[in-house]
């Protein structure tokens, strides 16, 4: 066999290098979950933030970046959820980095960037703008709270609530159904709105409407939890098979939580 000419050697070396380059990419992209930004303005143009509920473990969030905030401002989802993030900007170019993850997107006006993220570990994830966007840039943050659904059944968490009106039948229903895992009685933040002072409280709904919480609203929210969700909360509450008596007991009890 004739020895290879120099030209052929160079051609073969170049081909091997090019192939290994593609091989490294095709292995590394799924391995490290590298997301490539896409331009899909034609499909999902929006200027309005939104949280869409697909299932208890699948959410779609439309983030809108603007000087100098992200909307929705705070997001709460249960652990082991998949979130489809669509990101756009209404003014200038912003960054969107979820600390502790490799999610790193650009918010570009007129462009919608997409990334699917799975949140396994409970905790609070800070989202920061990493593209200089003016005097408020350094304060442009939001957060994603990932709650542990398992805590819902842990009696220690429920028992940690301060004892109020002990022995009220409505309180027993709330405890038995693990409602208190998400709704606190003492005003502390939770996965759902706190029960403290709930009756008569003004709340802004996901729809933008402002309401004063009254008995009909409470009853509806117990029966149809996702019908009118308070702004800033994910529609994660399940429908519970409660009897009319139990609903009455809950409402009676909530009236006493001031």
Residue 67 or 178 having the CB closest to ligand CUA: 67
| Cross-strand pairs, 89 | 65, 109
**Using rule CB under 6 A, residue 71 touches ligand CUA:** no
Residues in the chain, total:
258
CB of 133 to ligand CUA, least distance (A): 3
Residue 131 sits in the site that holds ligand CUA (CB under 6 A) = yes
Q: What φ, ψ does residue 82 adopt, rounded to 5°? A: -105, 130
Among 58, 137, 196, 219, binds ligand CUA (CB under 6 A): 137
Residue 204 is inside which H or E element, if any?
strand 202-204
Residue 129 within binding range of ligand CUA, rule CB under 6 A: yes
Stretch that binds ligand CUA, among 45-53, 133-141, 197-205, 215-223 (CB under 6 A): 133-141
Give the residue, chosen from 37, 50, 56, 68, that forms a contact with ligand CUA under the rule CB under 6 A: 68
Tokens for 15? 């081909």
Give the integer Cα–Cα distance in Å for 118 and 167: 41
Does residue 114 bind ligand CUA (CB under 6 A)? no
Put residue 121 in one of left, alpha, beta given phi > 0 → left and psi -120 to 50 → alpha.
Answer: beta
127 binds ligand CUA (CB under 6 A): no
Question: What are the backbone dihedrals phi and psi of residue 173, each rounded to the nearest 5 degrees, phi first?
Answer: -60, -45
Name which of 96 and 195 has its Cβ closer to ligand CUA.
96
Q: How many angstroms separate the CA atoms of 22 and 27, rounded?
A: 9
Binding footprint of ligand CUA on the chain (CB under 6 A): 68, 94, 129, 131-133, 137, 140
């Amino acid at each position: 066999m004739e020895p290879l000419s120099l030209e052929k050697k160079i051609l073969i070396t170049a081909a091997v290098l090019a192939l290994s380059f593609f091989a490294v990419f095709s292995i590394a992209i799924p391995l490290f979950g590298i997301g490539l930004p896409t331009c899909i303005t034609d499909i999902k143009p929006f200027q309005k933030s939104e949280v869409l509920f697909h299932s208890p473990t699948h959410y779609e969030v439309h983030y809108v970046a603007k000087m100098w905030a992200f909307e929705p401002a705070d997001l709460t989802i249960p652990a082991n959820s998949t979130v489809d993030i669509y990101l756009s900007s209404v003014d200038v170019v912003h960054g969107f980095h979820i600390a502790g993850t490799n999610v790193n997107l650009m918010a570009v006006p007129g462009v919608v960037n997409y990334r699917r993220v799975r949140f396994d570990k409970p905790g609070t994830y800070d989202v920061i703008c990493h593209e200089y966007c003016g005097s408020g840039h350094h304060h442009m943050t939001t957060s994603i709270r990932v709650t542990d659904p398992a805590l819902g059944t842990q009696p220690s968490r429920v028992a940690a609530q301060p004892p109020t009106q002990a022995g009220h039948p409505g309180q027993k229903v709330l405890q038995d159904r693990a409602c208190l895992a998400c709704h606190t009685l003492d005003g502390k933040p939770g996965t759902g709105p706190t029960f403290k002072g709930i009756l008569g409280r003004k709340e802004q709904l996901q729809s933008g409407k402002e309401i004063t919480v009254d008995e009909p609203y409470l009853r509806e929210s117990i029966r149809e939890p996702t019908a009118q969700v308070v702004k800033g909360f994910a529609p994660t509450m399940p429908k519970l098979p409660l009897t009319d008596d139990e609903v009455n007991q809950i409402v009676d009890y909530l009236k006493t939580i001031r």
